[in-house]
Structure 1
Amino acid sequence: MKKVFIGFLVLAIILAVLVGYFWFKNKNGKDLNAELAVPESVQIGVPFDLMVNISNDSSSVINEAEVSVILPESIVFIGDPVARSIKNKKVGSLKTGTLTQVSFPVLVLDGENSVHSVEAEISYIPGSIKSRFVKKIQKDFVVTDAGLFLDLITPTQVLSGETFETKISYENRSEILFDNVVVKVALPENVTVNSSSKTHTINSDGHLEFVLNQINQSDKGEITLSTTLIGQDNSLVEFLATANARFTGLNYQVSGKSAIITVAPSPLSIFIDLNDNLQAVSINQNLTYNLRYANNTNIDLRDVIIEAKLDGEMFDLTSLNTNGVLRSNDNTVLWNASIVPGLRNLAPGASGVLSFNIKTAPGYPITRLSSKDFLLKVLAKIESPTVPRTVAANKTIGVSQLTTKVRGATTVDTQAFFRDASSGILNSGSLPPKVGKPTQYTIHWLVKNYSTDVDDIQVKAFLGPNVRFTGVLKSNLEIEPEYNERTQEIVWNIGKISATRGVLTAPIEAIFQVELIPSISQISQAPILIQETSLTGVDLFTTQPINGKDQSINTTIPDDLTVTGSDGRVTE
């Protein structure tokens, strides 16, 4: 009866709350009303007030009202960091019939000619009810163009080494004054600025900065750069210009424009190939680079110079074999007419091939955890002071770059011990092993991974005849080896290993105990405890397969220095 009474009591309380709520709604007729007010259209980079209008249309006081505005990524609260997307303001109590406005100054940074949406939430406590209510509202509006218009004008295509104009034009198309305006121009490393129509500085990112200060309504202007681009044939180069203005002490990017330039095929071309277009190379590997050049013009090109710059820690410069001259201060190989007479005057349509041989380093220069993903880069350049009449340059230049990945390496070292106290595993039996008597050994697998991240690493091996796994094992990974008793195969599915694991840190290790019971046919022999160990996986940097192995181990167990040669041969 007591449980039934409690149940009725709980139900009565719930019904009372529901009745009270609907009574409040019916008694007051109307509750809190709210709407978002924004201009029908706004410009990018022009501040405006986002207004939240709140009215208390009930017959009771509304308490502890708060307004939260939620902005999409393209809109920011003026005076706050760009990352802030939610802002709260307290309203407090609202008497019956009260209308109040809450203002949020905001700025649109992106999304030209599109519809944007903002949301607001008003939380409050109506009348004498203690529960907090939340009202959600939303408003769409149109974003037109940028208030501070910015344009970036470049040729769509230029020759490598050609000088051309880059123009950045700006115009205030809004009804406000833009203050503390700074135009930034980001240029690739292979672009040189020869001159500029306005004074500029270089910031910490290597970008050009033009301080324009105030730009009044309808003001316009232009910045002209003389630029030279050196790049590979058919490569794409991006120029980027942005305008920043200050509002309430913070700078915001209010406009931006980018341009893509294609490097046209050079009149003097050069291309690089490596060992039949190898995609990846290994340590201590012989490499042959070929530089193929050609005069694609209808005029003679005189005093041609060809150079190949070698960039990468994995080049073994001591192994370089070439008829060119190595310039040691920047590891560049050079050829000119003193070495190749045909370069004195390269006739129209003439071509040739220059080669050099070099080896990769015998090991990886790993000194820190970030010593990974090594690359070999060769930047080839050919140039002549002769310039075709149609080209606006002071020399004719062709460039080419070849980047090759260096494979990593993952190794497994198999070791065996009879006396192995440091492992914490006690082996029993006699040395030398005796026919029909069990002798136990511990097998160690030590895995090292060098210069690349790898995955799907699997280590496996078969045990020798008359050898079994005792079930005792240890590993410094959560994943342990597994044994198939029917096939005598032990398999360790390690999975992913980070670069330098086992080189700068302790190797990945598994230790497992095996037991040999020699047969009479093995007298005077050193039976195999574990056959050849294999390792397979995938190099995540080069996407190529990994293969490794270590030799089989017999009962002479060379890694255990306490065991002599005779201790490893079976006796009766």
Structure 2
Amino acid sequence: MSDKRSSEKLDALRERLYARGDEERPKTRMKLDSERSNTENVAQVFDVQPPRHVPPATAPDTPIEPGPPLPIKAPISRRWRVRLVLFALGFFVLSLLASSVYLLLGRNNVSGENIELSVTGPFTVGGGEVLSIQVGVANQNNVPVESATLILEYPSGTRSVDDEGKELFSERFPLPEIAPGEILNQTFQVRAFGEENQESEIRASIEYRVSGSNATFFKETEPFKFKIGSAPVVLNIDAEKTISSGQETTITIEVVSNSPLPLNDLLIKAEYPSGFDYTSSDPSPHSGRNIWKISELPPEGTATIKITGIVIGAESEKRVIKFAAGVAGSRDANTLASILAVAETEFVLEDPFLSVDVSIDGKKDEVVSVAPGMQTNVILDLKNTLDNSVYDTVVEVVLSGNALSDTEVRPVGGHYNSSSRTIRWDSSSSDALTELGPDGNARLAFTLLPQTNGLQTPNITFSVKVSGRRVSENGAREEIAGTIDRTIKVESKPVVQASATHTSSDPGPVPPVVGQPTTYTIAWKAQSSANNLSNVTLTTSLPAYVTWTGVTSGSGQWSYNPTSRIVEWKVGSMQSGREADGTFQVSFLPSASQIDRTPDIIGDSHLRADDSFTGTVLRSTTGALTSELDGDRESGVVQAN
């Protein structure tokens, strides 16, 4: 019965717990634990009365079996808050991704990929003709292109159409504003130069800004390539193909215009090989010996240049002379800015048809030094080196130089023309020159007397020119010629002078007395003449009875070797026509064996020097000095004590 009542009370308790609208009374929270006494408190809180027939303190202990744990469920309001936060976070991430994609790939993106730059034009143009190119700029951005500048870079030699003398390297052209989706086309003209079939290219690029940005963008396109279809000028070369070593030859260059317009400031440049010695040209070179300038060459016009020179080399060697035509650069008027045409000519060398051996005073060097005031003998030995005869040989010697005296030129058998300073031999003056058969010989000679009075670097040069006729393999008679050069350099003639003095500053008696030392001052004078001298040195020796005092004067270096008893004065260098003076002191102690004699106080004086002009070693000597002073013999005779 008691169990039934307890069950009814529990049901009533549940009804009150889940009843709606009733105000809940505050209840005191109790701490649950395993103590049995705590159950009474719990029952009081929930208004549950224990069974009446069982005293509270004596209620039997009934074990309570633990049941399965009940699941704890979060309140419904908390689950909705979590879902709301997760939804907001996902929406934010999706919005961020969408905006990034829109900024990167959207139509408002500013990119060089949205600027299209193109260059078009003819693939072939004649040299010197006008080249027209079209440049297109397309703006595919969604914003305008502002402050755009087109940059064109040209190949070497490109000229302005408006100013033909102006060479173009690059140009910058400002462009108007280019609206979104707009295409801007512009045409440019230049004058292209170059060799025939030469490939060239023009580079185009653009610098620009966009509205609302201070950044500068850059876009470059593929280079526009074109070819020079024809050269504006043609070079025709006329020259001999086979020549003898030492033979003088003439090369003719014909410059022909192939341009419909006049060509201004055209340069022709020659590149000589080793062994080619330029002699002259017609017209004269514009710069150096290898650049000629044609101020204006009209359409289909022609200009001719003749170059004369001597080719030297061994048999069978080849020599090539290269020529180039081009326009002058605006930065350097003597430089080819662009090459329009090239040409070359080749020589094959053969042995000289007439070998010429020249000997000067027996020396066969190209440069020979001779002593001044001496007659010089020159011998020419000719020999035919061909397998056939040489006819009507003519030999000319052209003389020049500041030491040449017309009155002292004496040819043997030939004639000297003082007006042209040329010695000439031909068949009328020598029968041997009428015909020189294979291995035929002829000898010619002349003499010279070089002059040196008042001259600096005196010299004589001469060129031996030999010409004749031979029958070629096809039976035609052709002229052959050869040239050989020689130089005679006249040496300087230095002079050394020596003298002895006895002054008040020199102790000792004069004339000298046995057993008493007498001091002398020795004066040296070195003189140069026509040429500069270097390494000038004066030396002498002292007798055993003469002592070196060490007192000297004069520029340079003095020294005395007590073992060899050599006095040396190194003067150094001397200009032509100058003198060098120096002194040194010696002490003479006479002996009884020298009474009534004038003994030597120094030996011979020697001068040695290098001639800076001729490269030879020069020497000069003067005799020994005695105790005699100023030609007074009594002043130098040794007296008894």
Q: Same fold (TM over 0.5)?
A: yes
1:247 aligns with 2:330: yes
Does the CA contact (< 8 Å) of 1:437 and 1:518 recur in 2? yes
CA 292–334 in structure 1, closer or farther in 2 if over 3 Å, else same = same
Does the CA contact (< 8 Å) of 1:157 and 1:261 recur in 2? yes
Q: 1:48 offset after TM fit, Å?
A: 3.3
Q: 1:350-361 counterparts in 2 under 5 A?
A: 350-361=440-451
1:47-105 deviation line (CA, Å, top 9, x unaligned):
53699xxxxxxxxxxxxxxxxxxxxxxxxxxxxxxxxxxxxxxxxxxxxx89899xxxx
Q: Which runs of 5+ in 2 are unaligned?
A: 1-150, 159-166, 173-213, 219-227
With 250-259 and 270-279 compared, the bigger mean Cα shift is at 250-259
Q: Which one has the largest radius of gyration?
A: 2
Counterpart of 1:446 in structure 2 is: 525
Counterpart of 1:416 in structure 2 is: 500
Q: 1:526 offset after TM fit, Å?
A: 0.9
1:435-456 deviation line (CA, Å, top 9, x unaligned):
2223222211212233444433
- AA aligned opposite 2:330: F
Does the CA contact (< 8 Å) of 2:353 and 2:385 recur in 1? yes
Does the CA contact (< 8 Å) of 2:154 and 2:168 recur in 1? no
CA distance in 1, matches of 2:526, 2:232: 60
Q: 2:393 aligns with which of 295, 300, 304?
A: 304
CA 212–335 in structure 1, closer or farther in 2 if over 3 Å, else same = closer
- AA aligned opposite 2:356: I
Counterpart of 2:36 in structure 1 is: none
Look up the SS of the partner of 1:432 in the other structure: coil
* % identical aligned pairs: 19
Q: 1:211 offset after TM fit, Å?
A: 2.4
Counterpart of 2:178 in structure 1 is: none
Higher strand proportion: 1
Q: Which runs of 5+ in 1 are unaligned?
A: 1-37, 52-96, 102-144, 194-199, 420-424
- AA aligned opposite 2:364: N
Q: 1:523 offset after TM fit, Å?
A: 1.1
Q: 1:208 offset after TM fit, Å?
A: 7.2
- AA aligned opposite 2:333: N
Does the CA contact (< 8 Å) of 1:412 and 1:535 recur in 2? yes
Does the CA contact (< 8 Å) of 2:520 and 2:586 recur in 1? yes
Counterpart of 1:554 in structure 2 is: 626
Look up the SS of the partner of 1:289 in the other structure: strand
CA 42–338 in structure 1, closer or farther in 2 if over 3 Å, else same = closer
Look up the SS of the partner of 1:566 in the other structure: helix
Q: 1:190 aligns with which of 275, 279, 292?
A: 279
CA 451–261 in structure 1, closer or farther in 2 if over 3 Å, else same = farther
- TM normalised by structure 1 equals 0.58
CA 213–302 in structure 1, closer or farther in 2 if over 3 Å, else same = closer
CA distance in 1, matches of 2:639, 2:561: 29
CA 325–251 in structure 1, closer or farther in 2 if over 3 Å, else same = closer
Higher helix proportion: 2
With 254-263 and 396-405 compared, the bigger mean Cα shift is at 254-263
1:481-521 deviation line (CA, Å, top 9, x unaligned):
122345432112233x2440xx1x3x112112222222222
Counterpart of 1:493 in structure 2 is: 570
CA distance in 1, matches of 2:587, 2:321: 67
Counterpart of 2:505 in structure 1 is: 426
Look up the SS of the partner of 2:635 in the other structure: helix
Q: 1:14-25 counterparts in 2 under 5 A?
A: none
Does the CA contact (< 8 Å) of 1:182 and 1:244 recur in 2? yes
- AA aligned opposite 1:366: G
Counterpart of 1:48 in structure 2 is: 169
Q: 1:356 offset after TM fit, Å?
A: 2.7
Look up the SS of the partner of 1:342 in the other structure: helix
- AA aligned opposite 2:429: I
CA distance in 2, matches of 1:252, 1:304: 43
Does the CA contact (< 8 Å) of 1:320 and 1:358 recur in 2? yes
Does the CA contact (< 8 Å) of 1:161 and 1:228 recur in 2? yes
- AA aligned opposite 1:383: S
Q: 1:550 offset after TM fit, Å?
A: 1.9
Q: 1:510 aligns with which of 582, 586, 592?
A: 582
Counterpart of 1:166 in structure 2 is: 253
- AA aligned opposite 1:293: L
Q: 1:531 offset after TM fit, Å?
A: 0.8
1:84-130 deviation line (CA, Å, top 9, x unaligned):
xxxxxxxxxxxxx89899xxxxxxxxxxxxxxxxxxxxxxxxxxxxx
CA distance in 2, matches of 1:485, 1:451: 36
CA 411–44 in structure 1, closer or farther in 2 if over 3 Å, else same = farther
- AA aligned opposite 1:304: T
Q: 1:148 offset after TM fit, Å?
A: 10
1:345 aligns with 2:435: yes
CA 201–294 in structure 1, closer or farther in 2 if over 3 Å, else same = closer
Counterpart of 2:491 in structure 1 is: 407
Give the number of aligned pairs: 412
Does the CA contact (< 8 Å) of 1:313 and 1:365 recur in 2? no
Does the CA contact (< 8 Å) of 1:162 and 1:391 recur in 2? no
Q: 2:466 aligns with which of 372, 382, 394?
A: 382
- AA aligned opposite 1:158: I
Does the CA contact (< 8 Å) of 2:269 and 2:290 recur in 1? yes
CA distance in 2, matches of 1:365, 1:378: 21
Q: 1:353 offset after TM fit, Å?
A: 1.7
Q: 1:376 offset after TM fit, Å?
A: 3.2
CA root-mean-square deviation: 4.7
Counterpart of 1:525 in structure 2 is: 597
Q: 1:206 offset after TM fit, Å?
A: 7.6
1:271 aligns with 2:374: no
1:355-376 deviation line (CA, Å, top 9, x unaligned):
2333444xx3434xxx22x433
- TM normalised by structure 2 equals 0.53
1:466-495 deviation line (CA, Å, top 9, x unaligned):
2223332211x2x23122345432112233
Q: 1:436 aligns with which of 515, 521, 529?
A: 515
Look up the SS of the partner of 1:251 in the other structure: coil
Look up the SS of the partner of 2:333 in the other structure: strand
Q: 1:271-350 counterparts in 2 under 5 A?
A: 271-274=357-360, 275-277=362-364, 279-315=368-404, 317-318=407-408, 320=410, 322-350=412-440
Look up the SS of the partner of 1:521 in the other structure: helix
Does the CA contact (< 8 Å) of 1:271 and 1:400 recur in 2? no
Does the CA contact (< 8 Å) of 1:272 and 1:290 recur in 2? yes
Does the CA contact (< 8 Å) of 2:383 and 2:442 recur in 1? yes
CA distance in 1, matches of 2:532, 2:471: 48
CA 263–553 in structure 1, closer or farther in 2 if over 3 Å, else same = farther
- AA aligned opposite 2:422: T
Look up the SS of the partner of 1:190 in the other structure: strand
- AA aligned opposite 2:589: I
Q: 1:524 offset after TM fit, Å?
A: 0.9
Counterpart of 2:559 in structure 1 is: 482
Counterpart of 1:130 in structure 2 is: none
Does the CA contact (< 8 Å) of 2:351 and 2:385 recur in 1? no
CA 213–313 in structure 1, closer or farther in 2 if over 3 Å, else same = closer
Does the CA contact (< 8 Å) of 2:256 and 2:303 recur in 1? yes
Does the CA contact (< 8 Å) of 1:387 and 1:393 recur in 2? yes
CA distance in 1, matches of 2:290, 2:251: 19
**Greater RCO (CA < 8 Å, at least 6 residues apart):** 1
CA distance in 1, matches of 2:574, 2:152: 54
Counterpart of 2:42 in structure 1 is: none
